[in-house]
Amino acid sequence: MNVTKTNINGVFIIEPKVFKDQRGYFYESYNKLSLGKYGIDYTFVQDNQSQSSYGVIRGLHFQKPPYAQTKLLRVIQGKIIDVAVDIRKGSPTYGQHVALELSDTNFKQLLIPAGFAHGFSVLSETAVVQYKCTDYYHPESEGGIIFNDSDLDINWGIPLDEAIISEKDLNHPTFSEFQTPFTM
């Protein structure tokens, strides 16, 4: 596995070694021992999977402590822009984000630690996204930030007038209105 640090501490790009031949391909999508060599040592307790159509934007979401989640994301089918926004007050990168294209052909994964808001947009006709979480889903601890906040200036890779957004995600506060439950 190749593990690359991003410009935001704690967010990593993980690229598994893919073995291809005439039959297809094989790769380890997760290996705790291999990631541990890079100081990545999380215990994942829940796997989630979603399917979405072109133009869907999901996010920006997080769970508040004590149910905050670290996530390891990958795309099973299709292509997305995956986004992690640093919401750790006191962090030198507070309010900054990492955006990365994940697809079923580049095999890249994004590790997003607790203390980040997460979202993605679908660039392909459909996309199936799978992610591991370090804590269970607790609806009472959900939080969010509006996806199109001008202070965050996220390029979702799709025309926003074509975006498909849930009612819940349309009603999140802006970044300046948002009160973070995370500190460094």
Q: What is the pLDDT of residue 54?
A: 98
Give the C-alpha separation, 152 to 49, whole Å: 26
Burial category of 34 from C-beta neighbours within 10 Å (exposed 0-12, middle 13-18, buried 19 and up): middle
User: Which whole number is the average pLDDT over 130-135?
Assistant: 98
Contacts (Cβ under 8 Å, ≥6 apart) of 44: 30, 72, 132, 133, 134
Give the C-alpha separation, 180 to 147, whole Å: 16
| Structure confidence by residue, pLDDT tens digits, 19-74 | 999 999 999 999 999 999 999 999 999 999 999 999 999 999 999 999 999 999 99
Q: What is the pLDDT of residue 38?
A: 94
> Is residue 111 over pLDDT 90?
yes
Q: Is the distance from CB of 99 to CB of 155 less than 8 angstroms?
A: yes
Backbone dihedral region of 152: left (phi > 0), alpha (psi from -120 to 50 degrees) or beta? alpha
State what percent of residues in the chain have pLDDT above 70. 100
Let me know if 97 is a catalytic residue: no
Q: What is the pLDDT of residue 33?
A: 94
Give, for 102, the enclosing helix (H) or strand (E).
strand 97-103
Let me know if 172 is a catalytic residue: no
pLDDT band of 184, cuts 50, 70, 90: confident
Q: Which of 61, 97, 118, 172 is catalytic?
A: 61
Q: Which domains does the chain have, with CATH numbers?
A: 44-183 (2.60.120.10)
Q: Which of 42, 67, 94, 131 is catalytic?
A: 131
pLDDT band of 156, cuts 50, 70, 90: very high
